[in-house]
Chains A and B, each alone.
Chain A
Amino acid sequence: MASSSSRFRRIWQNNIYLWLLFLPCLLYYLIFRYAPMFGLVITFKDYNLFRGVWGSPWVGLKYYRLFLNNPDFWPLMKNTFLLGFYKLVFGFPAPILLALLLNELRKATMKRFVQTVSYLPHFISNVIVASMVIMFLSPSGGLINNMIEWFGFKPINFMNEPGMFRGIYVVSEIWQHIGWETIIYLAALTAVDPQLYEAASIDGASRMRKIWHVTLPGISPAIVITLILNIGQVLEIGFEKVYLMQNPAIYDTADIISTYVYRVGMEQGNFSYGSAIDLFMGIICFIFIYGANWISRRASETSLW
Chain B
Amino acid sequence: MRKNLKTYAGLALTPILTAALLAACGGNSNNGEPSSGANASPSASPSAAPSSSGSVQEASALPSKTFKALLDNNATFPYSKDWPIWKWIKDKTGVTLDVQTPSGKLSDSLNLAVASNAMPDLMYMPNRQESNKFGQQGALVDILKYVDEMPNLKAWMEKYPDEAKAALSADGKMYMFPNQGFGETNRMIWMYRKDVFDKEGIQVPTTYDELYQALKTLKAKYPDSYPLSIRYGQIPDEMNMNMTVNFGTGEGAYYDFDKKEWRYGPIEDNYKAMVETWKKFYDDGLIPPDFLSLQTKQWQDMMSTGKSFVTIDYISRIDFFNNAMQQENPDFNMQFLPPPAGIPGGKQLNPYFHYLEGGLTVASTSKQIDDIMKYMDFFYSEEGRTLASWGVEGESYEKSGDTLKFLPKYTDITETRKETGLQTSGTYTWIDFDSDLSLFSESLKNAYTEATKYDPPAMQPRPAFTEQENEVISLTGQAIKKHRDESFAKFVTGSRSLSEWDKYVEEMKNLGVDKLLDTYKTAYDRVQKVELNVK
Residues of A within 8 A of B (CB): 32, 36, 46, 48-52, 66, 70-72, 131, 134-135, 138-141, 155, 157, 159-160, 247-249, 251-252, 255, 260, 263-264, 267-270
Q: Are B486 and A252 in contact (CB under 8 A)?
A: yes
Using Cβ atoms and an 8 Å threshold, which residues of chain B touch A141?
298, 307
Q: Are B290 and A140 in contact (CB under 8 A)?
A: yes
14 A–B contacts from the bound complex (CB under 8 Å): A49-B134, A52-B117, A134-B293, A138-B290, A138-B294, A138-B298, A139-B289, A139-B290, A157-B290, A247-B233, A251-B485, A264-B474, A268-B474, A270-B474
B293–A269 contact, CB under 8 A?
A: no
Q: Which 6 A-B pairs have the closest CB atoms?
A: A248-B485, A249-B489, A50-B137, A50-B139, A268-B474, A248-B489
Q: Which residue of B lies closest to A51 (CB)?
A: B137
Known: A139-B290, A248-B486, A249-B489. A263 touches B139 (CB 8 A): no
* Residues in chain A near residue B475, CB distance under 8 A: 66, 70, 264
Judged by a CB distance under 8 angstroms, whether B488 is at the interface is yes
Residue of A whose beta carbon sits closest to that of B135 = A50
B159 within 8 A of A: no
Question: CA of A51 to CA of B115 in the docked complex: distance in angstroms?
Answer: 8
In this complex, the member of B129, B297, B475 whose beta carbon has the largest number of chain A beta carbons within 10 angstroms is B475
Task: Tell me the B450-504 residues at the A interface (CB within 8 Å).
Answer: 467, 470-471, 473-475, 478-479, 482, 485-486, 488-490, 493, 495
Taken together as a complex, chains A and B put the C-alpha atoms of A52 and B112 apart, in Å, by 11
> In the complex, A264→B476 CA distance in Å?
10
Rounded to whole angstroms, the CA-CA distance of A48 and B134 in the bound complex is: 9
Given A159-B293, A249-B292, A252-B486, A49-B479 contact (CB < 8 Å): no
Closest residue to A32 on the B side, CB-wise?
A: B2
Residues of A near B130 (CB, < 8 A) are 269
Residues of A within 8 A of B495 (CB): 249
CB distance from A58 to the nearest CB of B (A): 15
Judge whether A131 and B137 touch: CB under 8 Å.
no
CB-CB under 8 A from A263, the residues of chain B are 478, 482
Number of A-B residue pairs at CB separation under 8 A: 106
8 Å CB contacts to A: which residues of B264-298?
288-290, 292-295, 297-298
Query: Does B19 sit within 8 A of A, measured CB to CB?
Result: no
Q: Does B133 contact A (CB under 8 A)?
A: yes
A268 to chain B, nearest CB (A): 4
B479: contacting residue among A70, A157, A248, CB under 8 A: A70
Task: Contacts A135-B298, A251-B486 given; indicate if A49 touches B137 (C-beta within 8 A).
Answer: yes
20 new A-B contacts, CB < 8 A, other than A139-B289, A159-B290, are: A49-B111, A50-B138, A50-B139, A71-B511, A72-B479, A135-B295, A135-B297, A135-B298, A140-B302, A141-B307, A157-B289, A160-B489, A247-B489, A248-B486, A248-B488, A249-B495, A251-B482, A260-B478, A267-B474, A268-B129
Taking CB atoms and an 8 Å cut-off, the chain B residues in 165-195 that contact chain A are none
On whether A268 and B470 interact (CB within 8 A), knowing A50-B134, A160-B293, A247-B293, the answer reads: yes
Alpha-carbon distance between A138 and B229 when the two chains are bound, in angstroms: 14
Query: B108 → chain A, closest Cβ, in Å?
Result: 11
Report whether B290 and A160 are in contact in the complex, using a CB–CB cutoff of 8 Å: yes
Tell me the bound Cα distance from A264 to B297 in angstroms.
Answer: 28
> Which B residues are in CB contact (< 8 Å) with A155?
289
Closest chain-B Cβ to A40's Cβ sits at a distance in Å of: 14
Which residues from chain B contact A48 at a C-beta distance below 8 Å?
137
B494-535 CB mask vs A (1 if < 8 Å, else 0) is: 010000000000000001000000000000000000000000
A interface secondary structure, majority: loop
* Cβ-based interface call for B235 (8 A): no
Tell me if A71 and B133 are in contact (CB < 8 A). no
- How far apart sit A48 and B233, CA to CA, in the bound complex (Å)? 33
- Contact, CB under 8 Å: A249 / B298: no
Q: Contacts of B114 on A, CB cut-off 8 Å?
A: 49-50
Residues from chain B with Cβ under 8 Å of A36 in the complex: 2
Residues of B within 8 A of A159 (CB): 290, 292-293
B295:A249 contact, CB within 8 angstroms: no
CA A102 to CA B290, docked complex, whole Å: 39
Known: A49-B111, A135-B295. A160 touches B493 (CB 8 A): yes
What separation, in Å, do the CA atoms of A24 and B290 have in the docked complex? Answer: 51
Cβ < 8 Å to A, chain B residues 292-332: 292-295, 297-298, 302, 307
Q: Is B236 an interface residue (CB 8 A)?
A: yes
A180 to chain B, nearest CB (A): 22
CB-CB under 8 A from B292, the residues of chain A are: 159-160, 247-249
B-side contacts of A255, CB under 8 Å: 482
- Determine if B226 and A140 form an interchain contact, defined as CB atoms under 8 angstroms apart: yes
User: Can you list, as one digit per residue, whether each of B115-154 has a CB less than 8 Å from chain A (1) or not (0)?
Assistant: 1010000000000011001100111000000000000000
CB distance from A245 to the nearest CB of B (A): 8
Residue of A32, A66, A248, A260 with most partner-chain B CB within 10 A: A248
Q: Which residues of A contact B511 (CB under 8 A)?
A: 71
Tell me the smallest distance from the CB of A296 to a CB of chain B, in Å: 32
Q: Are B133 and A269 in contact (CB under 8 A)?
A: yes
User: Which residues in B have their C-beta under 8 angstroms from that of A134?
Assistant: 290, 293, 295
Bits for B236-259, please: 1 = Cβ < 8 Å to A, else 0.
100000000000000000000000
- A140 with B137, Cβ < 8 A, contacts A32-B2, A131-B295, A264-B475 known: no
Residue of A66, A70, A247 with most partner-chain B CB within 10 A:
A247
Min CB gap A34→B, angstroms: 13
Residues of A within 8 A of B293 (CB): 134, 138, 159-160, 247, 249
Chain A residue, CB-CB nearest to B482: A251
The answer for the CA separation of A52 and B290 in the assembled complex, in Å, is 46
What is the chain B residue whose CB lies nearest that of A268? B474
Interface centre among A131, A135, A155, A249 (most CB of B within 10 A): A249
Name the distance in Å between A104's Cβ and chain B's nearest Cβ.
40
**CA distance in complex: A49, B139 (Å):** 9
Chain B residues whose CB sits within 8 angstroms of the CB of A264 once the complex forms: 474-475, 478
Most buried by A among B114, B139, B288, B289: B289
Task: Write the chain A residue with the least CB distance to B285.
Answer: A140
Question: Is there contact, CB below 8 Å, between B137 and A249?
Answer: no
- Distance (Å) between the CB of B39 and the closest chain A CB? 30
* Chain B residues, Cβ within 8 Å of A157: 289-290, 493
Q: What is the chain A residue whose CB lies nearest that of B288?
A: A140
Q: Is the CB of A140 within 8 A of B482?
A: no
Q: Complex Cα distance A263/B485, Å?
A: 14
CA distance A233 to B233 in the complex (A): 30
Q: Which residues of A contact B295 (CB under 8 A)?
A: 131, 134-135
Closest Cβ of chain A to B257, distance in Å, is 28
Interface residues as binary, B100-116 with A (CB distance below 8 Å gives 1, 0 otherwise): 00000000000100110
Cα separation A46 to B479 with both chains bound (whole Å): 22
Are B482 and A249 in contact, with the CB atoms below 8 A? no
Q: How far is B468's CA from A46's CA once the two chains are assembled, in angstroms?
A: 11
Cα A298 to Cα B47 in complex, Å, equals 65
| B307 proximity list for chain A (CB < 8 A) | 140-141
Chain A residues whose C-beta falls within 8 Å of the C-beta of B474 in the assembled complex: 264, 267-268, 270
Give the CA-CA distance A50 to B133 in the complex, in Å.
10
Residues of B contacting A32 with CB < 8 Å?
2
Minimum C-beta distance from A87 to chain B (A): 21
Cβ B489 vs Cβ A269 within 8 A: no
CB distance from B397 to the nearest CB of A (A): 40
A49-B115 CB under 8 A given contacts A72-B482, A264-B474, A268-B474: yes
Residue of A nearest to B492 (CB): A249
Q: Pick the residue among A70, A249, A260 that contacts B490 (CB under 8 A).
A: A249
- Residues on the A chain within 8 Å of B117, using CB: 52
